[in-house]
Structure formats: structure tokens, C-alpha cells
Structure 1
């Protein structure tokens, strides 16, 4: 029979205080998102009067119609989807391949590679040398600037290492007896049994690729190659919203303002990852737990 320890008044008060504190923190975190969402669905001219806090006063979809009719947003969305899918696939395969090599104890210079990689996690050359490197590699105004520099992450390599070290040595030995070389073992043995950590790293890097606006802002001048987050940055931080309004067909944006257009653009660019992330949260938690518990 289950028995429950009776709480003292001090413990009960402490629990109530913690609950109220967490409610306040959740409210402060979620309300700005709700405010942007509510105002993006409100008539732009009406929203200028203010006083909209909890729900739309005059429900309207004109802001979103203006966003999807604006020049360049669908191209930017396509670039973001392409770089997220391709960049994530390349990053996962390349990082996993290096991590598998480093996990082999017979690798010459293995400890030196780990020391060098650890240093790069804390020290970098800075933005100007990195920009010069990107320029000399011919990656300026190139779609590959989203893919090649992000092919490898030493932090993700450490997560892969923690998982690869737990793979039974008998699997690889059996494959070698059957005549498989290291590449065949990696593709046919290691990758299939490593799907949990691969899914975790894919989610890590996929979220990074989707949210990255800095690369497009610094290394891309061609607007046809800029991702959706850079598009959002230019709308919010510059006068692009007024330019978007000016480019609309006559009569289309009569109730749309530059502010309402900014809010609607923010919703459109962030909605996909916000919707997907809660369903994938368990993989993020699992990824940080990999290797921490030994059975």
C-alpha cells in the first residue's frame, strides 16, 4: 500500500511559491509570441489604434495575403528549405564519418585531433579572417556557403563519439570476417544502429540551418539566394516593409501597414519550426543523455 509523506506548512508554501514563479516565467516567455500572433491576424489600420492584447479586434488575413504576394518571400522560403535539408544531410554524414574514425583507438594522432578540436570550441579567428577565407574559397554569393562551412561541428562529434563507443565490438569484427572494409562497416553497420543519435544531430543542425540569418546577411548579396530568416531580418530591421507595400498591386494592401506586415512576416518565417519543435523535443533531451548512463 502506497503511503505519502505529509508536507509541512513550509514545504507546502515553498511548492506554491515555485508553482507561481514558474507560471510567471511561462507567461513572460509565451505572451510576446501570443501578442505578435494576435496583432498579425488583426486589421493593420485598426491595430494602429493600439489596445490589442489578448485576441484580434478586427480579424483579417490581409497581412498574410500581402506577405505571400510580396516579391522574393517564396524564393527565400525555397532557399531555406533546400539549405536545411541538404545542409543537415551533409553535416550528419560528414560529422558521423569523422567521429567514427576518431573513435577508433588505432587511429594515429587521435589524441592530438581531440586536443585541436577542443581548442576550436573555445577560440576562433574572428569574423574578418573568416570572411576572407570564405572569399578566397569562392563561396561569396554561392549557395554552397550554407553547406560547406557547416559540414562539421566538433560539439556534435563528441555526441557521436559517446554513442559509437557503446557499439559492441563484435558487430565490426563479424563484418570484417565477412570481408567488409572500414567504409562498408560504417555505412552498413554503424549508421543503421546509430539512428537515435543521427536523428538527434539532424534535429540540432536542422534547427540551426532554419534559424540562421547571419550567413545570408554577411556572405550573400544576391537577394535570390537569401534565406527566409535573412528576409525577415531585412523586413524588421530595415525599410523593406515599406518597399514591400509599395510593390503590391493597387488596392491589395489597403488595410495593411508596415508594422502589421512585419508581424505577419515574423509569424510566417517562424511558424514551421515552432510547430515542429515540440514534437521533436524528446530527441533533443535524448541526445544530451546519450553516453551519460551506462547499462
Structure 2
């Protein structure tokens, strides 16, 4: 009885310690986001005094008005939305098609292709050869640079492959008896039953496309093709918000600062992907569980 009480006490102590530890981790993770959000809703000139930690001292939405009034920011946001939607759809379809081909036992040279693809997970040609390749393909200052180079990922292929290999062959055999070709089988049978893994890869690549600033920084010089993350990166890196402040006129200009506009822009660029994630989370978890079990 005494040993049982001791064990129960130790378990309770561990639970309390684990609870407190997780609270600390959550606070350290969430508070920086809360700090940016609070300061973005504070009057810009007042926020420069500091001392704002939990709630806005002088509530104001003028920084957000300045952000949405800036044509450059809104154009960059449109580019980001377009490249995220188009790039994600193209990536998922193309990678799924290649993975489906790899899952077929009759594919000639499949082991050789797998070996070549595995090498690419650990080694790359480097930035300079890649830049020269993009230049020679005519994709510099082109929207296609966001889509075509990101069409395929061997890592995502492995996730697709682990799922496709477990789909019963009877489904395909029945479809072939009915006269369906490979493309019809893929689009009407394989993809519909693979929605958990499709949603997982779509979330992976969608977040990558939304957060990608490097592609726009290296391969894009035209301002009209600049994504919002690159726009924000250049503003923060150069410590200059002249192009942002240019849109603030009249009474709004008196209540905002370059810092408050930067914070508001960070919130605007992050919010859409944060709102989308909860709707895909169940597919995200389910897809990974399926991949881990069947792999």
C-alpha cells in the first residue's frame, strides 16, 4: 500500500512538472507573436516609447490602414496568393503523378531512379549553377520561377509512395477491366482515396510557397512580381520604410511610424496561412499517421 502511494505521488509530481514545463514552452512560443500583434494595434508614435507588453496603450488601426493603402504591399500580396495557389496545385499533381509511376512494379529502372532521387536529398549543385540554369531557361523576372522549379520534391514523393503502395491492386484491375487507362485511374481512383496524404503535401508546400522570400530576392528584380515576404524582408533588412510611409498621408501619417507599419505588415502576411492551417490539420495528422504505419 505504501509503495502504491509513493508511485501515485511520483506520478502526480511528474504530471504537475510536465504541466508547468509545457506552460513555459507555450508562453515562450506564443508571447513573441502576441507582442507583435499588440504593438501593431498601438498608435505608432506612442509605441516608440516602449513599455507595451500585454495590451495596446493607445489603440489604433492606422498602421493597418497604411498597409492596405499601399499599392506595393497589396500587389505583393496578390503575387504571393497566386504563387501559393498555383504552385501548390501544380506541385501536388505533378509529384503525385511521378510517385504513382514509381509505385508501379513494372516501371523499368525504378531502383536506379530511386537511387538518383535519394542522392538529391543530400547533395545539390549549389546556388550559382542553379542561378545559371534558371537564367538559361529564361525564368529570371518571370512568374514561372515560382512554379516550375518547385513542381517536384523527392521528399514529398516518398510520402506519396508509401501511401500508393498500399492501395489494393484490385481497384486498378477492376478499372482496367472497365476500360480505364492509367490517367483515368490516377485522377478518378487514386487521388480521391489519397486525400489525407494530398492534404498533407498541400499544407507542406503551401506553407513553403507562402513563406518563401529567397526566390523573389534572388531571381526577381521586377517590383510587380515581388512576393509579400520578399517585400517585407527588404524593408526590414534595409531598415527603411520609405515606400511604406509614402502611402500614409494626412492624419494617418501623424499616428504611424515605420516600426508600427512593419509590425502590421508582419501580421497581415502571417494571418492567412495561420487561418488556413486549422482546417487542414486533421488531414495533416492523418496523412502522417498513414505514412508512418504503411511505410
TM-score range, shorter chain: over 0.9
Q: How many residues matched? A: 291
**4+ long deviations beyond 6 Å:** none
* Ranges in structure 1 where 5+ consecutive residues have no aligned partner: none
Shift of 1:253: 1.2
1 CA distance for matches of 2:292 and 2:61? 49
| Alpha-carbon distance, 1:249 to partner | 2.9
1:171 corresponds to = 171
Equivalent residue number for residue 9 of structure 1: 9
Task: For residue 290 of structure 1, give the secondary structure of its aligned residue in structure 2.
Answer: helix
What is the match of residue 233 of structure 1?
233
Aligned residue for 1:264? 264
1:132 maps to: 132
Q: Which residue of 1 aligns with 2:189?
A: 189
In structure 1, the residue matched to 2:44 is 44
CA deviations 1:221-269 (Å, max 9, x no partner) are 0010011111111222124413321443344311111111111111111
Deviations 1:44-76 (A, max 9, x none): 111111110000000000110111112311111
**Where do residues 90-239 of structure 1 align in structure 2 (5 Å cutoff)?**
90-239=90-239
* TM value normalised by structure 1: 0.94
Structure richer in helix, relative to its length: 2
Aligned-partner Cα distance in 1 for 2:102–2:290: 18
CA shift for structure 1 position 10: 2.6
Query: Which residues of structure 2 form unaligned runs of 5+?
Result: none
Aligned partners of 1:278 and 1:192: how far apart in 2?
21
TM-score, scaled relative to structure 2: 0.94
Task: Say what the alpha-carbon RMSD is for the aligned residues.
Answer: 1.7
Deviates more, 1:74-83 or 1:228-237: 228-237
In the TM superposition, what whole-angstrom CA distance separates every residue of 1:18-51 from its partner, at most 9, and x where no partner exists? 1111111110111000000000000011111111
Question: Which residue number in structure 1 is paired with residue 77 of structure 2?
Answer: 77
Structure 2: distance between partners of 1:27 and 1:95: 38
